[in-house]
Amino acid sequence: MDGRIVVITGASSGIGEAMARRYAELGARVVLGARREAELRRVADDIEAKGGKVAYVVCDVTRENDCKALIMKAVESFGGVDIMICNAGLSMRALFDDCDLGVLHRLMDVNFWGTVYCTKYVLPYLQQSRGSLVGISSVAGIHGLPGRTGYSASKYAMTGFLDTIRVENLKRGVHVMTACPGFTASNVRFSALTADGTQQGETPRNEARMMTPDEVAMIVARGVMRRKRLCLMEWEGRLTHLVKKFFPGLVDRLFYMVMKREPDSPLK
């Protein structure tokens, strides 16, 4: 990461914050985007206090102009972009039967369109630097998660979009990677939307067995350095990816059983 210019969305907390801090420690020049200015300033100030090089822009990824401004900040501050990490994300927890369709629109706006907007404006700079475009997806982008229809749909859409960008840029040297963490102890679970679009406010899952944001940050960094196309991070993701090829019905049943066991699960 030394000397690389790294742009990260959703950088004010969770995985995005962990990436910003860790990559700055490794010598990267980091450019941070998120909606909460106070939290962005906190992260940036801490990085600067430790000798890191950082810039930030308040950025709502559902707004095209905000995404453009984030990329322009990187270019103005450091001269280009080497790595773009589309990390900003929103989750949900509700059966589709009960779900307001506005919830699915909101998830697509953040998870899918946020990736599209950032890619549109960063791609010329990645083509110039032969850099990396990274989408932080999920196991839900490998197989549909019950109770997370909008989340899975948005992550599948992200994967299809990134796969196509990879093919279109085969001759231009752009590396494209889809990273799929499992359940991670980050704020995205607390802000997950319920059936009516309100935030659930707390996670039903035991965080003791979850990956930490810092672990995810380091795995993504290794994936970028190795220019991997798919980055699966723990046994659940790897097993899902493998077993689905041969026994997709079994994966359906296993996912149903696992998600049904959650406290207050919407599954019956």
Q: How far is CA 251 from the centre of its chain?
A: 23
**Any idea which residues carry the catalytic annotation?**
151
Q: Give CA–CA dist 75/83, Å, rounded.
A: 12
Q: Over the Cα atoms of the chain, what is R_g?
A: 18
Dihedral pair phi/psi, residue 64, rounded to 5°: -55, -45
Q: Give CA–CA dist 49/53, Å, rounded.
A: 10
SS (H, E, C) the chain: CCCCEEEEECCCCHHHHHHHHHHHHCCCEEEEEECCHHHHHHHHHHHHHCCCEEEEEECCCCCHHHHHHHHHHHHHHHCCCCEEEECCCCCECECHHHCCHHHHHHHHHHHHHHHHHHHHHHHHHHHHHCCEEEEECCHHHCCCCCCEHHHHHHHHHHHHHHHHHHHHCCCCCCEEEEEECCCECCHHHCCCECCCCCECCCCCCCHHHCECHHHHHHHHHHHHHCCCCEEECCHHHHHHHHHHHHCHHHHHHHHHHHHHCCCCCCCC
